[in-house]
């Protein structure tokens, strides 16, 4: 299959991470766990946890402002803002509208997207379609996650996995050489209860019973999530590579969702990509949900791991269940 000509490119990226580092030993002092237990099962050594008054919108603003500065984009030039978050500061209005106001992007359409860990790749595809249809020239895709606020800090099976952070990218029409080559996304709502927050919506309103049972916090069936994550990310990677007319041998760098080192290793192996070509920062940040890929991408660019002319593959998986993969040329 011939490699398609890209229509939209990722022009610049940015990230924001809280300064507070929480190590596995720190967690061992408040929950029944150990550094060895966490590292052996997840590869995580530490994560960033923001203070209580740090809002998702402010984290998103910081990452977005950095990406805009690097792209040479003024606030008034942004045509659309897509924000992925599983941790909105409030239910109404959207976090995207709050970020729009903070940035002063008064000409932009702004809305939230909820696809959990898959949200940033979903958002990039939505923004790509908007620009490809000629509805604008500049898109801003932000993922901002304050995961620490939805964790049950008495549940060692979940609270050790996640961290806070935000990543963003500016998208523009491509020159036909660099940009998005393919994307494949899927979801399966039949598996929703493998990773969910039972209470807090219309289905189960937040009340004293829900608060006491911690049903407003994240619940996860770890074993089933692992199995579905590996299978789904591998399938999505296959589809995206086929659509791009490439194989694993053509990929110069894989930047996967940073949930668990075992999931990353299994997905890379299935795609035929050696680990030396895989960017990993889960050890330093844990799972930042949809912010994981844009933060990793921004770090990889800063470290010189991403250079012009490279083929990049990203794959992700999250609550919904949702999953997907994307291939682009830098």
Question: Is 257 an active-site residue?
Answer: yes
From the candidates 24, 260, 287, 311, give the one annotated as an active-site residue: 287
Question: Cα(81)–Cα(173) distance, rounded to whole angstroms?
Answer: 15
Q: How many residues does the chain have?
A: 330
SS3 287: strand
Tokens at residue 150, please? 């939805």
Quick check: do 8-175 and 180-329 share a fold?
Answer: yes
Residue 227 has a CB neighbour count (10 Å cut-off) of 13
Q: Could you say which of 117, 216, 228, 260 is catalytic?
A: 117
For 180-329, the fitting CATH number among 3.40.640.10, 3.40.47.10, 3.40.50.300, 2.30.40.10 is: 3.40.47.10
pLDDT of residue 33: 96
Q: Digits of tens for pLDDT over the chain (330 positions)?
A: 678 899 999 999 999 999 999 999 999 999 999 999 999 999 999 999 999 999 999 999 999 999 999 999 999 999 999 999 999 999 999 999 999 999 999 999 999 999 999 999 999 999 999 999 999 999 999 999 999 999 999 999 999 999 999 999 999 999 999 999 999 999 999 999 999 999 999 989 989 998 998 999 999 998 999 999 999 999 999 999 999 999 999 999 999 999 999 999 999 999 999 999 999 999 999 999 999 999 999 999 999 999 999 999 999 999 999 999 999 999
Quick one: which of 254, 267, 256, 190 has its CA closest to 227? 267
Which CATH number applies to 8-175: 2.60.40.420, 3.40.47.10, 3.10.20.520, 3.20.20.140?
3.40.47.10
CB atoms within 10 A of CB 193: 14
> Quick check: helix, strand or coil at residue 299?
helix
Tokens coding 255:
């930047």
Query: Distance (Å, rounded) from C-alpha 61 to C-alpha 15?
Result: 10
Q: Which residues contact 196 (CB under 8 A, 6 or more apart)?
A: 218, 219, 319
State the pLDDT at residue 61: 98
Long-range contacts of 147-151 (CB under 8 A, 24+ apart): 147/86, 147/87, 147/218, 147/287, 147/288, 147/289, 148/49, 148/50, 149/52, 149/87, 150/86, 150/87, 150/197, 150/216, 150/217, 150/218, 151/217, 151/218
Q: How would you write 176-240 as a 3-class SS string?
A: CCCEEEEEEEEECHHHHHHEECCCCCCCCCCCHHHHHHCCCCCEECHHHHHHHHHHHHHHHHHHH
> Residues 6 or more apart from 29 whose CB is under 8 A from it?
none
Contact 147, 87 (CB under 8 A): yes
Sign of CA dihedral 29, 30, 31, 36: negative
- Clarify whether 117 is annotated catalytic: yes
The pLDDT value given to residue 1: 67
**From the candidates 184, 185, 216, 257, which is the catalytic residue?**
257
- Beta pairing class for 253-254 and 311-318: parallel
Asked if 287 is an active-site residue, the reply is yes
Structural domain boundaries of the chain? Answer: 8-175, 180-329
**From the CA atom positions of the chain, what is the Rg in Å?**
19
């Amino acid at each position: 299959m011939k490699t398609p000509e890209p229509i939209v490119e990722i022009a610049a990226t940015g990230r924001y991470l809280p300064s507070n580092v929480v190590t596995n030993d720190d967690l061992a002092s408040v929950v029944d766990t150990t550094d060895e237990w966490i590292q052996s099962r997840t590869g995580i050594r530490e994560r960033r946890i923001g203070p209580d008054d740090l809002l998702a919108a402010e984290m998103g603003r910081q990452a977005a402002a950095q990406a805009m500065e690097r792209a040479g984009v003024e606030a008034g030039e942004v045509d659309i803002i897509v924000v992925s978050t599983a941790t909105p500061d409030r239910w109404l209005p959207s976090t995207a509208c709050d970020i729009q106001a903070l940035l002063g992007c008064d000409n932009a359409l702004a809305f939230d997207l909820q696809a959990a860990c898959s949200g940033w790749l979903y958002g990039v595809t939505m923004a790509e379609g908007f620009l490809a249809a000629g509805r604008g020239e500049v898109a801003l895709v932000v993922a901002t996650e304050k995961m620490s606020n939805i964790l049950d800090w008495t549940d060692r099976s979940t609270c050790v996995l996640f961290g806070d952070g935000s990543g963003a990218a500016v998208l523009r029409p491509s020159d036909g050489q660099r940009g998005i080559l393919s994307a494949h996304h899927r979801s399966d709502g039949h598996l929703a209860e493998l990773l969910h927050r039972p209470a807090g919506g219309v289905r189960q309103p937040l009340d004293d019973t829900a608060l006491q049972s911690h049903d407003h916090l994240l619940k996860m069936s770890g074993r089933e999530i692992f199995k579905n994550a590996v299978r789904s990310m591998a399938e999505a990677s296959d589809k995206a590579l086929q659509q791009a007319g490439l194989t694993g041998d053509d990929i110069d760098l894989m930047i996967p969702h940073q949930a668990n080192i075992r999931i990353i290793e299994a997905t890379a192996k299935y795609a035929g990509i050696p680990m030396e070509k895989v960017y990993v920062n889960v050890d330093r940040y844990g799972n930042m949900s949809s912010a994981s890929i844009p933060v990793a991408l921004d770090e990889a660019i800063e470290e010189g791991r991403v250079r012009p002319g490279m083929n990049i593959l990203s794959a992700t998986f999250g609550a919904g269940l949702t999953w997907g993969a994307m291939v682009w040329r830098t």
